Amino acid sequence: MLGFGVFKVTDKAECKQAVLNAIRTGYRLIDTAAVYDNEDAVGEAVREAIAEGLCTREALFITSKLWVRGHGQHRDGESRDCRVIKKNRASEYFDLYLLHQAMGDYFSARRALEEAYEAGTLKAIGVSNFYPHVLANFCETVRIKPMVNQLNCILISRSPRRWKP
């Protein structure tokens, strides 16, 4: 499945139109992230595409990423990151939601993803940009193992050492 990413598409109207055009062209995987600040525009484009009959929600695969920032609990016990996921989501659920980087308190952030996964808001959870040794340690300590490790792969790059265990 070929995907369409919206990194650095900060203008909401431009992002919405770009996603609509991508869906019209045949893209079915849309990749965004909370830190890109355009998940709402992606959601608008998805809803419009469905309303126009271009696709169904089930035909799309929407993936996003949680940027690890300050963590903690709200008074009702819900984690801040879980609230970020709910607030920013592009549709009623995400097909895949990833921890964006192995920085900060990503173990606490992982708990938020596990909560949302168990609630059905996220169909799959994983990590992004985790080096192999960090991923191995991470997998030993979490309840639900990452289903995906998305990593940056530049075809013209000659630096495979970076991803060796």
For residues 66 and 112, the answer to whether their CB atoms sit within 8 Å is yes
One-letter amino acid identity for 151? L
Pairing between strand 125-128 and 29-31? unpaired
Dist CA 146 CA 128 (whole Å)? 10
Burial class, 151, CB count within 10 angstroms (exposed 0-12 / middle 13-18 / buried 19+): middle
Name the residue among 20, 8, 80 with its Cα closest to residue 47.
Answer: 20
Active centre residues (catalytic):
36
Task: Give the strand pairing for 3-5 and 96-99.
Answer: unpaired
